[in-house]
Amino acid sequence: MPLVKSPSPMAFRKNIKAEVAAGKPVKQAVAISYAIKRATAKKKK
C-alpha cells in the first residue's frame, strides 16, 4: 500500500499504521512518516 503524501496529522498517523502493518518496528515507521511529512511540506511551499 502506498503511503499518503501529505503533511497533515491524519496522513502521518495513516503512514505509521501502514508501516507497522507491513512489519516494520514502530520507531522506524515513525521515522519514515516524519520523512514523508517533511518532504511534502517542503514541496508545498
pTM to 2 decimal places: 0.89
d(CA 5, CA 40): 6
d(CA 37, CA 4): 9
Per-residue pLDDT at 45: 66
Those residues of the chain that have pLDDT short of 50 are none
What phi, psi does 42 have (nearest 5°)?
-70, -40
pLDDT cut 70: percent of the chain above it: 98
Residue 6 CB burial class (10 angstroms; 0-12, 13-18, ≥19): middle
